[in-house]
Structure 1
Amino acid sequence: MNVEQARFNMIEQQIRPWEVLDQGVLDLLAVVHREDFVPPAYRALAFVDMQVPLREQGRNGQCMLEPKVEARLLQELQVRKHEKVLEVGTGSGYMAALLAHQAQQVHSIEIVPELAAMARENLRRAAVRNVTVHDGDGARGLPGQAPFDVIVLSGSVAAVPQALLDQLKVGGRLAAIVGDEPVMRASVYTRTGEREFGHVEVFDTVAPRLLGFDEPPRFRF
């Protein structure tokens, strides 16, 4: 496989047509090598328009999101160099690496120790030094490091916990994929005041659930 041609095709044929036109984001996708964060068994899928499993046989659904989804979330958040970011769901560390190139500091939480260890090693090999990977339950955030300018949920949730929204600075943004299959929407929440939050729905997609988040009760008849 011609890796650079595959990377170019990913950007030009998948990501740009998905309304990702921010040149800074497009340039970043060429700089951070996605293939270095894909498990060896799935490396041939690094540039394919699909979710890539992170564990054997896709256990618990953990995966890398489609490249176009990751890119669109980055574009919507408009992360700046002075900002502090929290990511929930480290996975392979790829999204954390992208965020690290845009932000001053990234804290990323992973509930599966095996994945946290993999992400640390991937980030070390990629010489990404401004990311700290934490083992733990991302639904609670990181109160000790709050407030954050940006929070990213790298997976889906039924609803965004208030505990995470409360860890945003005023003016801070949180991106999450919210809802239940078959209808989920990527949404960006903005803290507009001490107790005020606004949000916009930016695109439809489907993503595996983040572990550790509450699910709404199901009706029984």
Structure 2
Amino acid sequence: MDIELARFNMIEQQIRPWEVLDPGLLGLLKKLPRELFVPPQDRDLAFADLNLPISHGECMMQPKVEARLTQALALTSADRVLEVGTGTGYLTALLASCCAQVTSIDIHGDFLKPASARLESLGIVNATFEEGDAAEDWAENDGWDAIILTGSVPVPPHAHRNRLAAGGRLVAIVGQSPIMEAMLYSRNDVGELTELSLFDTSLPPLINVRTPSAFTF
């Protein structure tokens, strides 16, 4: 496989048509070696338009979804970011390349060391990794400038939204299969929250996220 041609086609045929047009982000997508973060047996699928399975039943999101969610966060070089769900660390690397600091949480402890090593190999040193269950909340800190959930949640993530600083943004895939949508939640300078539907998609749920009980009559 011609890696550089595959990367070019990913950007031009998947990501740009999905209205990811930020020049800085497109430059990072061209530069960041996604193939480094893909399981070795699946390297030929590193740039494919699909949710790529990894271990523990988890997956890497479609490249266009990762890119669109990152663009929606509108990260700045001063932002502190919480990522819920490290996976292979690719999205962590993308986020860290756009902001001041990323804290990435994963319930699977065996994801963390390899992800950290991949970032270090690229000279990305502004990310920290912690093992824990942040499906419902992460109470270790408040005042995040941006939060991203890398698995779906059945209802809006109220606790995580409450962790946002003034001006903070959160992106999450909300709903239950087959109906899910990517949502952007923003907190303004006086603490009011707004929400915006970005696009329809589908993503496996975060482990241990609670599903509301169905009504019974």
Deviation at 1:140, TM superposition (A): 4.7
Q: Which residue of 1 aligns with 2:200?
A: 204
Give the conservation status (yes or no) of the 8 Å contact 1:139–1:164: no
1:152 matched to 2:160? no
Could you say if the C-alpha distance between residues 216 and 128 of structure 1 is closer, same or farther in structure 2, counting changes exceeding 3 Å?
same
Give the conservation status (yes or no) of the 8 Å contact 1:108–1:133: yes
SS, match of residue 124 in structure 1 = helix
Q: Which residue of 2 aligns with 1:188?
A: 184
Q: Which residue of 1 aligns with 2:92?
A: 96
Q: Which residue of 2 aligns with 1:2?
A: 2
Could you say if the C-alpha distance between residues 117 and 141 of structure 1 is closer, same or farther in structure 2, counting changes exceeding 3 Å?
farther
User: In 2, Cα distance between the equivalents of 1:20 and 1:199?
Assistant: 20
Give the conservation status (yes or no) of the 8 Å contact 1:79–1:102: yes
SS, match of residue 155 in structure 1 = coil
User: In 1, Cα distance between the equivalents of 2:138 and 2:212?
Assistant: 23
Q: Which residue of 1 aligns with 2:34?
A: 34
RMSD: 1.5
Q: Percent identity?
A: 47
| Structure 1: tracts of 5 or more residues without a match | none
Deviation at 1:117, TM superposition (A): 2.8
1:25 matched to 2:25? yes
More helix by share: 1
Calculate the TM-score normalised by the size of structure 1: 0.93
- Aligned residue pairs total 217
Calculate the TM-score normalised by the size of structure 2: 0.94
| Structure 2: tracts of 5 or more residues without a match | none
SS, match of residue 104 in structure 2 = strand
1:79 matched to 2:91? no
Deviation at 1:144, TM superposition (A): 3.0
